[in-house]
A and B are shown apart, each in its own frame.
Chain A
């Protein structure tokens, strides 16, 4: 493989990794404060795409308004899921919350089949969902980079800066960090913990919607199970990066995206096992460094 092909694959990998990173942040923030794997996050991602799709197709919004609409509605969906399904189980065993999350995930998937239909819908610029300029190829020597890749990386960088500012430089962020240490003590300090948790879910789900829209521009077929595999992979990315850490989710997302594309690029005959690599990476990571790249070791309480 020559340098040029390598760079071409690498750029492709970066845009995929960026999307994984955006979804992984949602997992990592929720896990960080509630110790809950939000299994439904991948399906929230799917709903983000569908909201944007229907805003254009059914409500005739201009594309940029549709995208903003989708981000807000998806954020509300995330907060609603937390309110209805997870909040009543806050003091229940963690396994119960996990089973509920699996239930919510299946509910969202199957409800999407009933409500949006099981057949794949096309999210491509020919139908006017977004301008074709996003798919324009820019040439750098012999390497072709779609504008979308720059867009993805720009969005990821912006999100990272804004999130780090929120978490480390605002009152809300301080409350989030406090909840992740000890939710009861935080409540006693006069923080409305439920509101902070809702806010966290809104941020995570909004980012999932952004990730979803970028994903749909990259892979324009959408169907009710779109979010399942990217959701699982983003979760793995969050674990690899160190669950609970925003920078970790970023690193994990890019690691996973690059690993996935590169393995297939170097060993094309393994392409069928593409989805199994993520699990292999997860298993190796969990065995040798269970806290992830940036994670902090939390000792087991007796």
Chain B
């Protein structure tokens, strides 16, 4: 049986229907679902942003970066400082007052998000230039160090970030439209890039940077662009996250944050955008189910107390087992596509006909 491809027009309409379908489901959820479910839905979309950007940097371009939490932190801090009401800023900054331009600013959410993304991208550019001269493990350690450095700076610059006290009472602007809208834009931009000639150049760099260089690809500038784009959306994700949980402090951006996103991408398949989306969704929902482990449970008449910290034990075991036995992840490097689905359905139909004959 030969593979058939759908026309571009059909594919476009199918995608449009899918997006409208999700939009409708979100509309239903917004009006009917409980606050808890809405929180989870928001977290899924934010994690999709994080996982997609990390996949783009790590899986597609092959830069093994461990500094993602740093860019999320920048996005979260910049946006919160812009949207916090002026009186709230005066109340929060007890140790040292906030420096001049920031203490007079109060912005609406959308421009704050964009500025957060841009500042994060700028930091991405500053970080990328020196660390991309390194390769492999060295790059991983250097980016980990830079991510941690961002956190240490946030912990000490009292007049900008309010130090270890963090920012409180951030206006809860984040809702389903913002999170899913931004997730959609992120996936759209990154997926179209991956499909373009630019994306093919990135994949060539991942496979063999020397060979890519020999083919005339400017390896360094492509890697920097990929890193900057990744940090832009990571910053926006951070902004959404900050306005969802409304309280941030430097401890929220420890290396654990990067680790969680790494699990999502590895679970979905390092190198696949659709894998990143699936991984993020499974991880977010799975984490909620794992709460059972930490809650007290009873067998017969004996009640056992919950074991705090058990969730992370299970998660880290999951990562090790994934790497040992299922390194490909759910999607490997493949992508979900309408053509793939179409051919899959056709194959099922043909094989069932074959059975009858």
Contacts and interface: CB of A to CB of B under 8 A. Distances in A.
Interface of A: 35, 37, 85, 88-89, 92, 94-96, 98-100, 102-104, 106-107, 110-111, 113-114, 118, 232, 235-236, 239, 272-273, 275-276, 278-280, 282-283, 286-287, 290, 300, 302
B149 interface: yes
B69 to A, nearest CB: 13
Given A99-B323, A100-B320, A114 B307 contact: yes
Contacts of A88: 324
B145 A282 contact: yes
Chain B contact residues: over half helix, strand or loop, or mixed?
Answer: helix
Interface residues of B, number: 41
B319 A118 contact: no
A282 B133 CA distance: 13
Given A106-B315, A283-B145, A286-B138, 15 more contacts: A37-B140, A94-B137, A98-B137, A99-B266, A102-B259, A103-B319, A103-B320, A107-B316, A110-B313, A114-B309, A232-B148, A239-B138, A282-B142, A286-B134, A302-B210
A107 B140 contact: no
Contacts of A236: 141, 145
B159 interface: no
A96 B310 contact: no
A104 B153 contact: no
Interface in B115-143: 130-131, 133-138, 140-142
Given A276-B149, A287-B133, A118 B140 contact: no
Contact of B323 (A89, A110, A276): A89
Contacts of A99: 262, 266, 319, 323
Contact of A113 (B145, B256, B309): B309
Given A283-B131, A283-B145, A100 B323 contact: yes
Contact of B140 (A98, A104, A283): A98
B210 A300 contact: yes
26 contacts: A96-B323, A100-B323, A100-B324, A102-B259, A102-B319, A103-B316, A103-B317, A107-B313, A107-B320, A110-B312, A110-B313, A111-B313, A113-B312, A114-B308, A114-B313, A118-B309, A235-B141, A272-B156, A276-B149, A278-B145, A279-B145, A283-B131, A283-B142, A286-B133, A286-B134, A286-B138
B261 to A, nearest CB: 12
B155 A272 contact: yes
Contacts of A283: 130-131, 142, 145-146
Given A273-B152, A273-B156, A302-B210, A103 B307 contact: no
Contacts of B156: 272-273
Contact of B316 (A89, A106, A275, A287): A106
Nearest to B147: A279
Interface of B: 64, 66, 130-131, 133-138, 140-142, 144-146, 148-149, 152-153, 155-156, 210, 256, 259, 262, 266, 307-310, 312-313, 315-317, 319-320, 323-324, 327
A69 B327 CA distance: 37
Contact of B320 (A104, A278, A282, A290): A104
A95 B313 CA distance: 22
B178 to A, nearest CB: 31
A106 B313 CA distance: 8
Nearest to A35: B137
A85 B324 CA distance: 7
A225 to B, nearest CB: 10
A34 B81 CA distance: 46
A236 B156 CA distance: 22
B137 A37 contact: yes
Contacts of B320: 85, 100, 103-104, 107
Nearest to B127: A283
A85 B131 CA distance: 28
A110 B152 contact: no
A131 to B, nearest CB: 34
A44 B59 CA distance: 29
A106 B312 contact: yes
A104 B315 CA distance: 11
Contacts of B310: 114
Contacts of B308: 113-114, 118
B267 to A, nearest CB: 11
Nearest to B152: A276
B136 A94 contact: yes
A103 B323 contact: yes
Contacts of A300: 135, 210
Given A89-B324, A114-B309, A276-B152, A286 B316 contact: no
Contacts of B133: 286-287
A37 B141 contact: yes
A275 B152 contact: yes
Contacts of B259: 102, 106
B140 to A, nearest CB: 6
A210 B149 CA distance: 29
Nearest to B256: A106
Contact of B148 (A239, A275, A302): A275
Contacts of B152: 272-273, 275-276
Nearest to B259: A106
Interface centre among B131, B135, B138, B320 (most CB of A within 10 A): B320
Contacts of A280: 149
Contact of A107 (B64, B146, B307, B317): B317
Contacts of B153: 273, 276
Contacts of B66: 102
